Amino acid sequence: MSAAVVVLGGGPAGDVAALRGAQLGADVVLIERAELGGTCLNWGCIPTKSLLAGADLLRKIRNASDYGIMVPEPTIDFTRMMARKEEVVLKMRSGVEAACKRKQVRVVRESGVIEGDEVVAGGERFGFDHLVVCVGTAASGLPGIDMEHPRVVTSDGILHLKKIPKRLLVIGGGVIGCEFASLFAPLGSQVTVVEVLPQILAGVEPRIVTQFRKLVALQGITFHTERKVETVDYRKASLTAHLDDGTAIAADLLLVSVGRRPETAGIGLEDAGVKLTEHGHVEVDDQLRTANPKIWAAGDCVGGLQLAHLASAEAARAVENALGHNVMAMDRTVVPSCIYTHPEIAMIGLNSETAKAAGHEVKVGQARFLGNGKALGEGEPDGVAQLYTEAATGLLLGATVMGVHAVEIIQEVGVAIADGLTTDELGSIIHAHPTVSEDIMDAAQQAAGVAPYLS
């Protein structure tokens, strides 16, 4: 008899858990109260990247004269941009729905609550041998801010705007805040970002962030670091935020981008014996099993890096472990993190600071995009690839890449780290010319002291 698997939540974790469980022969029910694909597909990764693609195209059109192509100043049809975003989302969501149908995964579009060895949803009870909790997160509000005011939005609400704000204030200089700043600045918004920490994009190599800030300042984005909003004066069509240093910032729209909270409350987890952290994340062991041996969890709701690809990998591992297939601990050693700003930033493994904190003597290999023929040809000379290595052995520890196509070329460093390559070995692999990814080879050769142009 097939094992009964119930998956609670249909985002990047839940979809994969359900589909992988069905592949392994389980009888799977997927319970999702909203839309399949979750935050990433419907309100996060996919719609924002669709809009950012439009912003990047706009930049290229405005710089067309550099290539000898003369075009007038383009007109922005924001309504069409938003409609295209929805078309992309619908196409992706339809793909998930079709996959569930092919794999005979029953999809129940209701809220689910755990009661004993069952999940109650839509008046039905679904018994399980294994339950995989993938309920994800929701955008957090900010104490002291009127989150119900029409001029205040989170990352969800900003995706439903009807027009481009003339003045956008972003509270929170993390990944999401910086991505929206990078989206609206070329659309004509006057963008101001307020960050309470000393550095925007916390966790990114500080030297890279310093260069990034200089580049985006040229795009008209203003940053206030080590500052917080103390009070806000609200009006019908605008507002004014007052910072703790006395600065007043007028805006037509306030985006609160200060993180996300797990959606774990009120679904019966604690009554089922599942332990939650003080922040509401599900506690799991290294195999993603909770304190209840029949309940597993994966994705953003377990805490750590909130990345769709990590959530999917965790979900596959959780359901495989639950069904006794290739049982092993979850390995998070090599997980790429990508920031879709302009320029892009991508990271994997350790950086110079985290490597030193882990006890490594670090050597940095570096190659700048200014010397890369493909980047220059594309009109994107601003960027750098940095590899972090163990000084004594040359073993690759991590990388940070800023510049055009960074989110694409970071993958090869992940493969190299997973395979235990040294910089000498990575640098000896012939890369195609001209490509932006050559800078990975150049940085590796520079670290090894053999780069013809750089060493």
Q: How confident is the model at residue 453 (pLDDT cuts 50, 70, 90)?
A: confident
pLDDT digits (tens, 9 = 90+) for 346-382: 999 999 999 999 999 999 999 999 999 999 999 999 9
Catalytic machinery residues: 433
Span 343-448 CATH architecture: 2-Layer Sandwich (3.30)
* CATH fold group of domain 152-258: FAD/NAD(P)-binding domain (3.50.50)
Residue 455 pLDDT = 67
By residue count, the chain amounts to 455
Would you kindly state where each structural domain of the chain is located, as residue ranges?
4-139+261-322, 152-258, 343-448
**pLDDT tens digits for 322-331?**
999 999 999 9
Say yes or no: do domains 4-139+261-322 and 152-258 share a fold.
yes
Q: What are the structure tokens assigned to 56, written together?
A: 């990047």
**Angle at 425 (CA atoms; ends 419, 428), nearest 5 degrees:** 135
pLDDT in tens, 196-255: 999 999 999 999 999 999 999 999 999 999 999 999 999 999 999 999 999 999 999 999
Which two tokens mark 155? Answer: 């990352």
Nearest to 193 by CA among 164, 163, 168: 168
CATH number for the domain formed by residue range(s) 4-139+261-322: 3.50.50.60
Q: What is the pLDDT of residues 49-69, one digit of tens each?
A: 999 999 999 999 999 999 999
- State the pTM of this model: 0.96
Q: Quick check: 289 pLDDT over 90?
A: yes
Q: Which among 235, 274, 115, 255 has a CA at the least distance from the CA of 178?
A: 255
- From the list 348, 351, 371, the residue with the least C-alpha distance to 451 is 371
The two three-digit tokens of residue 245, written as one number: 């240093």
